[in-house]
Amino acid sequence: MPSNEERWLDADAGPVVRPYALTQGRTRHTGASFDLIATVMATHTFADPGSLAPEHISVLQLARVPTTVADIASDVDLPLGVVRIILADLRELGLVVISTPVVMAERIDKYTLREVLNGLRGL
């Protein structure tokens, strides 16, 4: 019998719902892969809230303004892998658009680099 010190209680014991239970056990998402900072945005297509899991609705709400995969994962406090699966589900339903960051295709262009530089100097 472990002593009290050794027992994991409350938040330390981990979530009551195991993360991948939210994805029906799926650990790979559907469709094309997307980066940690791929931009996500809701398409304004009507979604029946009754047809979506609460986590899917939370993610969809966060995507009403352009945001990234990393930001969403941080906001909903779910593992990245789970968030990717939820996002891919929403994409399949046509509820979000996930776009590769502009800078992914090639090296970042000089125009953008100068914008970043000016932005940093102005901080």
Partner 1 sequence: MDYGVSDPAGGNRQYRAIKILLAGGFGVGKTTLVGAVSEIRPLRTEEPLTEGSLRADSTAGVEGKTTTTVAMDFGRISLRSDLVLYLFGTPGQQRFWFMWDELAIGALGAVVLADTRRLSDSFPAIDYFERRQIPFIVALNCFDGARLYDTEDVRLALDLEPDQPVVLCDARSRDSAKEVLITLVEHVLVTASEEPLSGIA
Amino acid making up residue 91? R
Minimal distance in Å, beta carbon 123 to partner 1? 6
Minimal distance in Å, beta carbon 19 to partner 1? 7
| Three-class DSSP category at 29 | coil
Instruction: Name the nearest CA neighbour of 74 among 65, 66, 83.
Output: 83
Minimal distance in Å, beta carbon 1 to partner 1? 26
With beta carbons less than 8 A apart as the criterion, state whether 100 and 35 touch. Answer: yes
Size (the chain), residues: 123
In this complex, which beta carbon is closest to partner 1, that of residue 3 or of residue 31?
A: 31
Rounded to 5°, angle at Cα 42 from 85 and 33 = 35
In this complex, which beta carbon is closest to partner 1, that of residue 5 or of residue 77?
A: 77
Chain positions contacting partner 1, by CB under 8 A: 19-20, 25, 27-28, 35-39, 41-44, 64-66, 68, 70-71, 73-74, 77-81, 97, 99, 101-104, 107-108, 110, 112-117, 119-123
In this complex, which beta carbon is closest to partner 1, that of residue 41 or of residue 57?
A: 41
In this complex, which beta carbon is closest to partner 1, that of residue 56 or of residue 85?
A: 85
* Cβ atoms < 10 Å from Cβ of 63: 23
